[in-house]
């Protein structure tokens, strides 16, 4: 009798133990499903509407995690475009002598005789478009020489038209009433806010407002736009271009 009760008790205990194990497994599975559902729900429910305006800063966003292509077009256009590597690159090319893209920007020269030697950097970004499409041109640069050039050795900008048969030129040294041409420091010249000449690189004639020159040649097609140093004046003349703005595009140069 005692043996029978013991056996019966053992069987009953095994049945309850088995049920307990099943219950444990069921509880674990249920907990896992609830956690998964909660995580999925959070991923689906958290949107921009859940984030308080101004609560996120640059410290909350991993550097490089937002591709430029994901930004609004207006923001993309406002960002500066870094032009690196040897020329030609990114729609820019060098012509003439001694022009190279360096860690500090586009270097021109030095030209032993700045009156007879020089070079240019040109962009093809507006090739084929009418001159009337130009809305803004500006650049930041400096120049130095062993001799005083009276401002003549300053970097200058030209828009070449009709397959390079003609050009409109902006010369910082012919701006009035006070030309900004000091040798040594960097200058920012907003060309489209200044005065220009047409087919007169030597400056023998008077300047006219940019709008006047542009209106007279509005339909002429652009073949290239260049910034140049040299073929002007100065001994051991050199220049350095750091930035260039073409309409709504801002370019900086370096390595």
> What pLDDT, in 10s, does the model give residues 94-130?
999 999 999 999 999 999 999 999 999 999 999 999 9
Judge whether 137 lies within some domain: yes
Task: Give the residue-averaged pLDDT of 6-26.
Answer: 44
Domain count, the chain: 2
Query: Does some domain include residue 204?
Result: yes
Predicted TM-score (pTM) of the model is 0.71
Q: Is 103 exposed, middle or buried (0-12, 13-18, 19+ CB in 10 A)?
A: exposed
What pLDDT band is residue 56 in, cutting at 50, 70 and 90? low
The reply to whether 197 falls in a domain is yes
Residues pairing with 95 in the sheet: 120
Same domain for 207 and 87, yes or no, is: yes
Statement to judge: residues 138 and 42 lie in one domain: no
pLDDT at 50: 72
- DSSP codes joined into one string, 125-162: TTTTSBGGG---EEEEEEEE-SS--TTTTS-EEEEEET
State the residue range of the domain holding 141: 81-253
Looking at the structure, tell me whether residues 244 and 120 fall in a common domain.
yes
The answer to whether residue 66 is domain-embedded is: no
177-199 pLDDT tens trace: 989 999 999 999 999 999 999 99
223, 117: one domain: yes
Give the dihedral sign, CA 152/153/157/158: positive
Same domain, 18 and 99: no
pLDDT digit string, tens, across residues 123-166 = 999 999 999 999 999 999 999 999 999 999 999 999 999 999 99
Task: Report the SS3 class of residue 5.
Answer: helix
103, 86 Cβ separation under 8 angstroms: no
pLDDT surpasses 90 at 47: no
Chain-wide mean pLDDT for the chain?
83
- Note whether 46 and 90 are same-domain residues: no
Residue 76 lies in a domain: no
pLDDT at 73: 52
CA distance 169 to 186: 20
Assess whether 161 and 50 both reside in one domain.
Answer: no
DSSP code for 52? P
Give the max Cα distance, the chain. 132
């Amino acid at each position: 009798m005692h043996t029978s009760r013991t056996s019966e008790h053992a069987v009953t205990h095994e049945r309850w133990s088995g049920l307990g194990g099943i219950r444990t497994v069921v509880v674990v599975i249920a907990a896992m499903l609830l956690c998964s559902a909660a995580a999925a729900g959070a991923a689906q429910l958290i949107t921009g509407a859940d984030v308080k305006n101004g609560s996120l800063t640059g410290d909350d966003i991993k550097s490089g995690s937002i591709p430029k292509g994901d930004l609004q077009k207006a923001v993309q256009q406002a960002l500066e475009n870094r032009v690196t590597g040897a020329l030609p690159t990114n729609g820019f090319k060098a012509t003439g002598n001694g022009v190279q893209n360096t860690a500090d920007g586009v270097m021109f020269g030095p030209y032993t005789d700045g009156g007879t030697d020089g070079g240019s950097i040109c962009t093809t970004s507006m090739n084929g478009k009418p001159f009337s499409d130009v809305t803004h041109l500006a650049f930041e640069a400096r120049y130095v020489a062993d001799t005083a050039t009276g401002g003549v050795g300053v970097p200058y900008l030209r828009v070449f038209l009709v397959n390079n048969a003609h050009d409109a030129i902006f010369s910082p040294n012919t701006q009035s009433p006070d030309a900004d041409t000091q040798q040594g420091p960097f200058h920012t010249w907003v060309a489209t806010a200044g005065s220009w000449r047409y087919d007169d690189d030597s400056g023998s004639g008077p300047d006219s407002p940019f709008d006047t020159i542009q209106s007279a040649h509005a339909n002429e097609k652009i073949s290239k736009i260049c910034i140049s140093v040299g073929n002007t004046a100065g001994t051991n003349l050199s220049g350095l271009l750091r930035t260039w703005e073409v309409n709504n595009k801002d370019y900086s140069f370096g390595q």
